[in-house]
């Protein structure tokens, strides 16, 4: 596969007070690649996602998106941020807006699309996540798995170049996890560039091009799922896998 970095972190460091939460992070996600990030709680996975989206400032280093260093602030940042969609553990849908409104709101406001165009596109995306029939419902009328699929459609509505997922299934009842993972697998097959923090090892094995294992703010391993799961190098990864598998 041609090397075509879409997201690239070079020597990224970040502290929270004394805590060195991201330590010399070097990471590349190529266009069309699916990178799964795993690691114990507190290892810096969420901070990594938020740093990539500039929801959190970094202390040093550079983050490139599609070859451009991420600006610190201002309109250039807003534009680049819109290029990276984010899906969180808590779906954060607007409770008083319909499913269709939730998906079409940001393209209307941020991308400056017309109402008809935004709604047409939103319906397409709802169909893609299997929820077209629920367009006029409110979030509370949907299951957790359905709400998370709406959140994915909402992220896609901005036509992002890449999607970041931070434990998208951790808040879901077990029987709903698969419907969300299946939508993510389909996105991967369609060529979406994705960075996915998850504890779903089945997804990592089947959908990831690479597995990145983090511990204590560092990337400890960055390998193919097959290599990682059959022969983890580090003691930290062996210990983690023995607990989770
Ligand atoms: P993970 O997602 O891997 O569980 P996080 O990135 O959420 O890890 O957190 C990494 C470390 O940074 C943890 O020790 C956490 O307590 C700390 N941390 C996260 N956010 C903040 C914050 N806003 N202020 C101070 N410490 C934080
Ligand atoms: Mg986290």
- Looking at per-residue confidence, does 26 or 77 come out higher? 26
Per-residue pLDDT band for 44 (boundaries 50, 70, 90) equals very high
Predicted pLDDT of residue 78: 79
Give the CB-side neighbour count of residue 33, counting CA atoms within 13 A.
24
Predicted pLDDT of residue 74: 76
Predicted pLDDT of residue 107: 84
Q: What is the mean pLDDT of residues 188-197?
A: 97
What is the per-residue burial (b if ≥16 Cβ within 10 Å, else e) of 184-200?
beebbeeebbbbbbbeb
Q: What are phi and psi of 196, to 5 degrees?
A: -125, 115
Q: Is 45 in the pocket of ligand 1 (CB under 6 A)?
A: yes
Predicted pLDDT of residue 91: 87
pLDDT at 233 over 60: yes
Give the global pTM: 0.95
Average pLDDT, the chain: 94
Task: Report the nearest atom of ligand 1 relative to the CA of 39.
Answer: 3
Predicted pLDDT of residue 2: 56
| 117-134 pLDDT per residue, tens | 999 999 999 999 999 999
Q: What is the mean pLDDT of residues 159-170?
A: 97
Pocket test for ligand 1, best of 15, 37, 42, 212 (most atoms within 8 A of CB): 42
Q: Is 217 in the pocket of ligand 1 (CB under 6 A)?
A: no
pLDDT at 238 over 80: yes
pLDDT at 169 over 80: yes
Predicted pLDDT of residue 34: 98
Q: What is the mean pLDDT of residues 57-71?
A: 92
Alpha carbon nearest to ligand 1 atom 26, residue: 16
pLDDT at 1 over 60: no
pLDDT at 150 over 80: yes
Quote the ligand 2 centre to 213 CA distance (angstroms): 13
pLDDT at 224 over 90: yes
ipTM metric: 0.98
């Amino acid at each position: 596969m041609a090397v075509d970095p879409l997201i690239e972190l070079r020597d990224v460091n970040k502290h929270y007070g004394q805590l060195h939460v991201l330590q010399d992070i070097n990471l590349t996600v190529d266009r069309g690649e699916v990178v799964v990030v795993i690691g114990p709680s507190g290892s810096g996975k969420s901070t990594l996602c938020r740093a990539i989206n500039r929801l959190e400032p970094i202390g040093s280093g550079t983050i490139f998106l599609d070859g451009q260093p991420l600006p610190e602030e201002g309109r250039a940042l807003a534009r680049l941020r819109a290029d990276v969609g984010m899906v969180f553990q808590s779906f954060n849908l607007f409770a008083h807006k319909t499913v269709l409104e939730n998906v079409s709101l940001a393209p209307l406001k941020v991308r400056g699309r017309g109402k008809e165009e935004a709604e047409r596109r939103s319906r397409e995306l709802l169909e893609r996540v299997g929820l077209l029939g629920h367009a006029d419902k409110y979030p509370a009328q949907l299951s957790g798995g359905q709400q998370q699929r709406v959140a994915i459609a909402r992220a896609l509505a901005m036509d992002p170049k890449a999607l970041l997922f931070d434990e998208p299934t951790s808040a879901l009842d077990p029987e709903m996890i698969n419907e969300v993972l299946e939508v993510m697998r389909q996105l991967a097959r369609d060529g979406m560039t994705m960075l996915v923090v998850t504890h779903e090892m089945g997804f990592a094995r089947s959908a990831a091009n690479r597995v990145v294992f983090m511990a204590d703010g560092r990337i400890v391993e960055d390998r193919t799922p097959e290599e990682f799961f059959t022969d983890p190098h580090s003691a930290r990864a062996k210990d983690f896998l023995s607990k989770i598998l």
